[in-house]
Amino acid sequence: MVGTLIFNMKENDFSIKKGPIFANFVLADEINRAPAKVQSALLEAMQEKQVTIGDETFVLDKPFLVMATQNPVEQEGTYPLPEAQVDRFMLKTVIDYPKKDEEQLIMRANLKGSWDKVNPVVSIAQILRAQEAVREVYMDEKIEKYILDIVFATRFPEQYKLADLKPLISFGASPRGSINLATAAKCYAFIKRRGYVIPEDVRAVVHDVLRHRIGITYEAEAENVTSEDIINKIVNVVEVP
């Protein structure tokens, strides 16, 4: 995925062949079927936006995005995803079955055997400008504290009158949870054409940002409690500014 060192017998030296990670948009299909070695190759790329092959380090082009799919049903032949890697994904979105009219279009397209041409709707330069604009979205200190309260409640629920959650949580959200919740809230405000973040922006993205960052215990599994149930309870209790 990252790249390989190839020995060139004619020149008696190694040359580097770059892998598919050298792209703006990388799709890892059913990532939980990738062996640990392949998964670990993504860690540096996703966090540092660079890859190391041999003794050389290459900075990846901007923007760089990894999108992965994971089949939650069939677990045979899969590998567990390390917490460190899962934490590097900004969002985890649950995709349900398509609606009946949507699936009808999918079925027709497959039967027809041809697909509509995909036309670009935005340039790389426009994406980079949008990223800069998102960074300029204003976030009040009260919103920052609100985000921190939500994240800290996943770590120390007893401090937020949520002691009943303590035996259900094996680990809470990391600092990446706070960073990504703030960033996602700014993005949501930007999409809504606002130059400032409001509590509703945080609440709109909190499930996608935190659902994969909260570990649940065997007790929670026995009681059919999910990380989403825990997030719902925290959001309902933590005081809104």
pLDDT, position 5: 53
- 241 with 128, same domain: the answer is yes
Give me the half-sphere count of Cα atoms (radius 13 Å) on the Cβ side of residue 129.
Answer: 5
234 or 76: whose pLDDT is higher? 234
Q: Which comes out higher in pLDDT, residue 221 or 19?
A: 221
Of 89, 109, 144, the one marking the end of a domain is 89
- Which residues make beta-bridge pairs with 97? none
- Dist. CA 123–CA 111, nearest whole Å: 32
Reduced to 3 states (helix: H, G, I; strand: E, B; else coil), residue 220 is: helix
pLDDT in tens, 97-140: 999 999 998 898 889 877 778 898 999 999 999 999 999 999 99
pTM assigned to the model: 0.84
- Of 89, 105, 133, which residue sits at a domain end? 89
Beta strands, E only, the chain: 3-8, 13-18, 25-28, 50-53, 56-59, 65-68, 169-171, 215-216
- Of 36-40, 177-181, 223-227, where does the model show the most confidence? 177-181
Residue 2: what pLDDT? 59
36 in a structural domain: yes
pLDDT, tens digit (0-9, with 9 covering 90-100), for 56-93:
788 888 898 888 888 776 666 677 777 777 888 999 99
Whether residues 72 and 167 fall in one domain: no
